[in-house]
Structures are given as C-alpha cells and as structure tokens.
Amino acid sequence: MQKLEHIGIAVKNLAEANELFARLLGREHYKVEEVESEGVKTSFFDLGGVKIELLEAIRDDSPIAKFIEKRGQGVHHLAFDVKDIESSIQHYQEQGFEFIKAEPKQGADNKLICFLHPKSTQGVLVELCQDNVKARQ
C-alpha cells in the first residue's frame, strides 16, 4: 500500500451530497463521472492528495443501491494506491486475503481497481487502485 488514495461514501442523492460536502470541506468537487459497469455516478473532492469519492447508484442492482438498502448512507470503502495492482492481488492472496473478484477492472478517475472481500478484512471494504497511465507499458 502506498497511501490512502480516497474514502468512498455511499449517498442517496449525489447533487445534495455534493452541496453538503462542499460546505463541509470548504471546496467544490472537481469532477463527476459515471461508471456504467458498476452502476454508479461518482464525484470527487480533493483534500491535499487524499480524495473523498461520493457514490450514488444509477441502477437498482448497483452495489451502492444494495449497500444503502442494507446499511444506509455512509462510509462505503477505503481505497489504497498500489504501484502494480496485479502483483498486489497476488501478494494479498498469498497473505490469505480474499477478493470479491481477483482481477483488476476499470474504475472511476482513470484507475484500475480491485476490491478485497470485507469478510477477510473485518468488515471494511478495501479497494486497491492503480493509476491507469502507469498500467502495462
């Protein structure tokens, strides 16, 4: 793990959450992006290199819709920067961690991402992310 890259927060209404977090953080979000494969719309706030990612479901079968249904709005995941996501996946598997799906996929903010299963991380959903520009040459 290189650093905490962002904290993901599940919200019901992205427009309302953007307004609230702008007041809370004292700055505006710098981008909004839809990740069709995950069924989410996201927005990002930058706090000195660590980001807050707000996530709103755009479909009922989105993982965010299911999360909010079960647990309500709130902190959804912690994302950590890794240099090489494939070797990180292998490393953590060797360490006995389980993944939701042990292969990188395209996430928001030009990242390759992968989630560890929360049952192997004491209930915390952990995302590994790698800058896509640094991906395979």
Q: Which long-range contacts (CB under 8 A, 24 or more apart) does 37-42 make?
A: 37/105, 37/106, 38/62, 38/63, 38/64, 38/107, 39/63, 39/64, 39/65, 40/64, 40/108, 41/14, 42/14, 42/108, 42/109
Selected range binding Zn ion among 11-19, 22-30, 87-95, 119-127, rule: CB under 5 A: 119-127
Selected range binding Zn ion among 44-52, 81-89, 97-105, 120-128, rule: CB under 5 A: 120-128
Spatial distance between the Cα atoms of 80 and 126, rounded to a whole number of angstroms: 8
Instruction: Give the residue with the Cβ less far from Zn ion, 93 or 114.
Output: 114
Closest residue to Zn ion: CB criterion = 8
- When binding is defined by CB under 5 A, the residue of 8, 39, 63, 104 that contacts Zn ion is 8
Range 35-74, binding Zn ion (CB under 5 A): 53
Count of residues of this chain found to bind Zn ion when the rule CB under 5 A is applied: 4
- When binding is defined by CB under 5 A, the residue of 54, 57, 79, 85 that contacts Zn ion is 79
Map tokens 């996946």 to a residue. 89
Binding interface with Zn ion (CB under 5 A): 8, 53, 79, 127
